[in-house]
Amino acid sequence: MTPNEAPSTPQFGPAGPALAHTRDVGGVRRGRGLSLRTLVILRWAALAGQTAAITLAQVWLQFDLPVTACLTVVAAGALVNFAAMTRLSRQEGHLADGPQTALHLGFDILQLSLLLGLTGGLQNPFSLLLVAPVTVAAASLPARQALLLGLMALIASAALFLWAMPLPWAKGQTLELPYLYLIGIWMALVTGVVFTATYAWRVAADAEKLELALATTQDVLQREQKLAALGGLAAAAAHELGTPLATIQVVAKELLRESRSEGPIAEDARLLLQQADRCRDILKQLSQAPDAGDRLYADVSLKALLNEIVEPHRGFDLDFEILVRAPPGRDPPRVRRLPEIIHGLSAFVENAADFAASRVRVSAIVDAGWIVIEIVDDGPGISPDILPRLGEPYVTSRPQAKARRALAEQLRAATRGRRGAAPPPAEVAPSQGGMGLGFFIARTLMERTGGEVTVGAGDGGPGDNRGARVAVRWPRARLEPDPDQPVDLAADRRIH
């Protein structure tokens, strides 16, 4: 069984995490870093503040500052910013990756530490600004890079505690803070770095979870809209095809009435009438909602459900194996016969029958909390080229496989034994390939019932065949009937 996107690969294609996690639902990735434009703006703001503080202390307060050294450190920051602006002009809108953002923030910590070392170290009230780069890193970078920058800030604070030039003060005066007070400042700075960074990390993580949940919800809504559109298309098709089917039935009845009762034309007319009636029944189901009391909503045994799903696909020269495994000493549970499960699993089994070499196994595994149904075939398997596109409707290159030849077998049976009847073509395919909607619809139906669909390799097959496996897992509570509802034993007898 192989989804319907390639002749030797699976031909169905659902989207979303439920299928081998082949699709990134929200595209949210932690730690992308800040944009280069944001880093440049933040650094210009910091450099402007540093320049203003130096000017104020030197000109207005007349503190004895090492002005040349301080302005050299500020100029180094400006040069780095000009280099970043040059790169930004070449790559408009460039989004800095994590390492580059960490590199810029690391430079900011180093530049600020040097400036603080020249102006009093921890005695400088602006030493509190060491918290800023670490907070930005915690909010925008992966944990490892944020921890490295936090450790760098803590090392810088320790270095400022051990070595720094005297705090600039009025001429002829000195300000010496007590040693114990400096220890308190250092401990407060360390506590502020750790607490603020942790707080920013948690807030960013919660915001990311919310963003991911929103993106996932949007993806689910988008798929529901696609399925709803398909439902509207089916209803429109049911309405539009009613008139051509009625015409076919009228013509077939005329042929049947004007031909010999046992002649080949009469047999063909009866086959046309039979198939037209079948089409009408299918279109009626598409255009009408099922009645609440319909037998599709009865509960049946798990094996009866599997038998009903497999039965329409027998007769393709394949061996179908149905297995039900329950915990030792317990009977398999009864399950609700939901139309979503019937149609979805039937699509999976048809897919397996189309691509299997000789064998298809349909098994149900029951444990204390889950029910898992697996469809395994011995066909070519899933192509790695198709996996990234699983879940995209209208992507298909399905061949004329066994299920597509069912009509040819019916025509052969109808013409077998006729005298002078021309043999039917070797292959009759009602449609060339497929629309690429099978797995998309089936997977969506399974998810509506609470199931999780996964696709992988099978148990192998003849030659180089790897086989394919589709597994659907439900919590038992989602499939088992309400114990207060009456058991429909007649449904089991009808299905068996």
Closest CA to 491 of 300, 291, 290: 300
Spatial distance between the Cα atoms of 20 and 215, rounded to a whole number of angstroms: 19
pLDDT tens for 115-144 read 999 998 888 889 889 999 999 988 888 888
pLDDT tens for 60-112 read 888 888 889 999 999 999 999 999 888 887 765 455 567 788 899 999 999 99
Least confidently predicted of 173-177, 253-257, 414-418, 473-477 = 414-418
Spatial distance between the Cα atoms of 11 and 386, rounded to a whole number of angstroms: 9
* pLDDT band at residue 156 using 50, 70 and 90 as cut-offs: very high
Bridge-partner residues for 373, per DSSP?
Answer: 364, 472
* pLDDT band at residue 7 using 50, 70 and 90 as cut-offs: very low
Does the pLDDT at position 360 exceed 80?
A: yes
Predicted confidence at residue 94, as pLDDT, reads 57
Task: Please report which helix (H) or strand (E) contains residue 472, including its range.
Answer: strand 468-475
Q: Tell which wins on pLDDT, 393 or 41.
A: 41
β-bridge pairing 452-457 and 370-377: unpaired
Mean pLDDT score across all residues of the chain = 76
pTM above 0.75, yes or no: no
- The token pair at 40 is 């440049």
Spatial distance between the Cα atoms of 415 and 223, rounded to a whole number of angstroms: 45
Closest CA to 234 of 245, 246, 226: 226
Predicted confidence at residue 479, as pLDDT, reads 87
User: CA angle at residue 407 from 406 to 409, to 5 degrees?
Assistant: 65
Burial grade of 212 (CB within 10 A; 0-12, 13-18, 19 or more): middle
Cβ distance 324 to 364 under 8 Å? Answer: yes
pLDDT tens for 262-284 read 778 888 888 888 888 878 777 77
Spatial distance between the Cα atoms of 227 and 240, rounded to a whole number of angstroms: 20
Predicted confidence at residue 158, as pLDDT, reads 92
Cβ distance 346 to 311 under 8 Å? Answer: no
- The token pair at 44 is 């210009």
Cβ distance 46 to 108 under 8 Å? Answer: yes
Does the pLDDT at position 232 exceed 50?
A: yes
* pLDDT band at residue 398 using 50, 70 and 90 as cut-offs: low
Does the pLDDT at position 494 exceed 60?
A: no
Predicted confidence at residue 110, as pLDDT, reads 94
User: What share of the chain in percent tops pLDDT 90?
Assistant: 19
- The token pair at 279 is 């089409």
Look at the block and give the residue holding tokens 């148990």.
Answer: 459
Q: Tell which wins on pLDDT, 312 or 79.
A: 79
Predicted confidence at residue 62, as pLDDT, reads 83
Predicted confidence at residue 82, as pLDDT, reads 92
pLDDT mean over 44-50: 92
